Chains A and B, each alone.
Chain A
Amino acid sequence: MSAPTTVSPATAGTTTMSYRQALHDTLRAELLRDENVLLMGEEIGRFEGSYKITAGLLDEFGPKRVKDTPIAEEGFTGAAVGAAMLGLRPIVEVMTINFSLLALDQIINHAAKIYGMFGGQAKVPLVIRTPGGGGQQLAATHSQNVELFYAFTPGLKVVAPSNPADAKGLLLAAIRDDDPVLFLENLALYNTKGEVPNDDTPVEIGRAAISRPGTDITLIGYSRTARMALDAADRLAAKGFDAEVVDLRSLRPLDRRTVVESVRKTSCAVVVEDDWLTYGIGAEVAASISDGAFDWLDAPVRRVAMAEVPLPYAKSLETAALPAVDDIVVAAEQTLRATGRG
């Protein structure tokens, strides 16, 4: 599988590595670069993180920079907000996005609002890294993608990289950003590999990528679904359709311009999200298309999403509930048919 052509690789060249490795190496590089950067979270130190992203960092940087926290999400997230207000640049690892629900008040009511509510007197340069996603047979309460709650909230930035290069570039940007950033990882992506630029140029937050150019239809996804959209585009190409894939990368700010420009080119779109349909991110993207590309649309925008159920534990049911590449291909074909091209 070829790596998506996101940003052009820097002259310093690239290295093939996993999404997991890209995150680890970036955290380490930033700990080395800026002594105000620190990591905190459950089991990130001695246990090296539930997903081993922080392997070796406690030994290298010591307990002041890499802090194991108690099982108390609201408490340690609140502590990180306070540390950020005082000038440190904490990176919190919440073991899964499901547990971030326990820290909602600190994230939505405090981190997001402090800069605005206090007239810019304090900033919150905080990063909350947290993985989510279904497909691991972790049942309903441990398989969610509740990024919508954060993407809904002004004052927060929300990014969701789909490949190792963006994992690095967006993590660099998030750590150096003066606003609180939710950095969303996906369990299904940790072992995926790709080319990662060797230099440390951040990927601008709020800028989507055309990860595959095409002319017939626009497929829009983010995180795992952006990768699925690429697979769907390959399948469509085999059937003679040239699909363009837009990888949102950032859910807030949302890059409506790139989406709109793509749909103006192709006249139709399918939005794919790893979440429930109703009120979802796909709805926001579809509304943006209607707003900015209405006079270019030759078919209604379609959405592919998860079934609107608490995700089942049983593998077959879980698979059936999650969106699949097949679903994207079918929706794209139906859309193309509606434009007379299918």
Chain B
Amino acid sequence: MDILMPRLSDTMEEGVVASWRAKVGDEVHAGETLVEIETDKALMEHESYQDGVLTEILVPEGGSADIGAPIGRLRVAGEPEQPPAGSAGAVEGSAPAEAPARPTEAAAEETAAAAAPAPAGPSAPAADPVRANGSRVRATPLVRRLARESGVDLGAVTGSGPGGRIIRADLDRLAATPAPAAPAAAPAEPAAAVAVPVTEDDEVTPLGSMRRTIARRLADSMRTAPHFYLTRTVDAGPMGQLRAELNAKLVAAERPKISLNDIVLRAVAVTLRQHPEMNASFGEDAIVTHKRVHVGMAVATPAGLVVPVLRDADTRSLTDIAGAARELAGKARDRKLSPAEMSGSTFTVSNLGMFGVDQFTAVINPPEAGILAVGALREEPGVVDGAVAVVKRMTVTLSVDHRVVDGAQGAQFLADLARLLENPWLAIV
């Protein structure tokens, strides 16, 4: 039986085989980890569904395949060594026969006639393409011809056909996405791709699937969602005070501390409950208002941005949120988040306060209606009761998809959120 590339997340289109845990010839048991798959967001262990012997690895480590494409073969008990020849599209004898004794003149002539417009490509065919690592490129004859005619370097194309073979669909996909900066790029697309001149002083890093996904989704978001931004500075004194008091008690009780971001997450969740119009998505031809509040929290990792999700955040206690957020952030950095932990958010919070950023604007995580960009808690001079005093402030910026929510609605959401942030006790009880 074929081992197929599993579908591990909603946005996954293809996966990369990060490592095979079994070698060809190994016996594997159901439930044992067979292979590690790198998706656009995570590194996932994929277990064998059945007992059997791994007979073939079709996609080697580093290779990628579309969802559902075979990546290896498992011989399960009762399955013959090879599929039986004969009926129903049996696998044909593999070894090519010895050279024919004589050419079939008649056949050659007939088909030569059929092939009247000989495919004399405009450019001289390049040498057989090879991968950067020296391995031979597998590509269908159609792909080889099209590559010859268009000058595409097949060595840089990922094949999604059986055994990693490059098929026509891969070229179509390539043409549809901005061309990577490669020496022999495809003919320029009208899309945004800008040819980057590469000199020998430059280092070229091919797009990984995660970077590719981030690039595609965020570019889509900026291109299709008309963003507007609402910025508000809040008095963060009570929040800082609340955190200090709580943490003193938590530490005494030997419980984990909470962060400012945990308070913000909780306040956002509660405000979203009051403003369902913000807890919405822009669909094909409808606005989808979500009944449940799942808050995504943007986490920077060495491999790129990921957004784990706090489910039903509006119904969870502050300490519960703090614990879950800490766990998710840790998993994100280790690339151990499951697809379920990364999908289904209805609104996202991005916090760069820990880097000392005072304020910024964030790109909406599609198809959500908004994202909140949170700056640092800072001390600055302010006017209190007619006198200048040191005050604690925090600036938050709401990015809103104008297709879903209008300015006044966004401002009202932000006003209610500010009220909670300035009176954090209201948010946590």
A interface vs B, CB < 8 Å? 256-257, 260-261, 267, 270, 276-278, 287-288, 291-292, 294-299, 302-309, 320-321, 323-324, 326-327, 330-331, 334, 337-341
Contact = CB atoms under 8 A, between A and B. Distances in A.
Contact of B114 (A257, A330, A338): A257
Q: Which of B143, B144, B167 counts the most A-chain CB atoms under 10 A from its CB?
A: B167
Nearest to B84: A307
Interface stretch (B87-95, B127-135, B244-252): B87-95
Interface in B141-155: 141-145
Contacts of B119: 295
Contact of A302 (B89, B93, B108, B111): B89
Q: Which of B89, B140, B165, B168 counts the most A-chain CB atoms under 10 A from its CB?
A: B89
Interface in B178-203: none
A298 B143 contact: yes
A291 B69 CA distance: 28
Contacts of A257: 110-111, 113-114
Nearest to A306: B87
Nearest to B161: A338
Nearest to B163: A338
Contacts of A256: 107, 110-111, 114
A340 B88 contact: no
A80 to B, nearest CB: 28
B169 interface: yes
17 contacts: A256-B107, A257-B113, A260-B115, A267-B142, A291-B111, A297-B142, A298-B142, A304-B88, A305-B86, A306-B87, A307-B86, A307-B87, A320-B87, A331-B88, A338-B167, A339-B169, A340-B170
Contacts of B69: 337
B314 interface: no
A298 B89 contact: no
Contacts of B170: 340
A308 B93 CA distance: 14
B141 A338 contact: no
B275 to A, nearest CB: 42
Nearest to B100: A287
Contacts of B168: 267, 298, 339-340
A154 B213 CA distance: 60
Interface string B101-120: 00000011011011100010
A301 B256 CA distance: 63
A155 B262 CA distance: 88
B345 interface: no
B306 to A, nearest CB: 28
B66 interface: yes
Nearest to A299: B140
A198 to B, nearest CB: 34
A337 B161 CA distance: 8
A137 B69 CA distance: 40
A179 B113 CA distance: 25
**A-B interface, 4 closest residue pairs, ranked by CB to CB distance from nearest:** A340-B169, A292-B111, A331-B89, A327-B88
Contacts of A294: 141
A288 B92 CA distance: 16
A142 B170 CA distance: 49
A337 B89 CA distance: 14
B253 interface: no
A339 B66 CA distance: 11
Contacts of B107: 256, 287-288, 291
Given A270-B89, A306-B87, A309-B86, 7 more contacts: A256-B111, A292-B115, A295-B142, A296-B145, A298-B142, A306-B86, A321-B87
Contacts of A270: 89
Contacts of B111: 256-257, 260, 288, 291-292
Contacts of A321: 87
Nearest to A272: B89
B271 interface: no
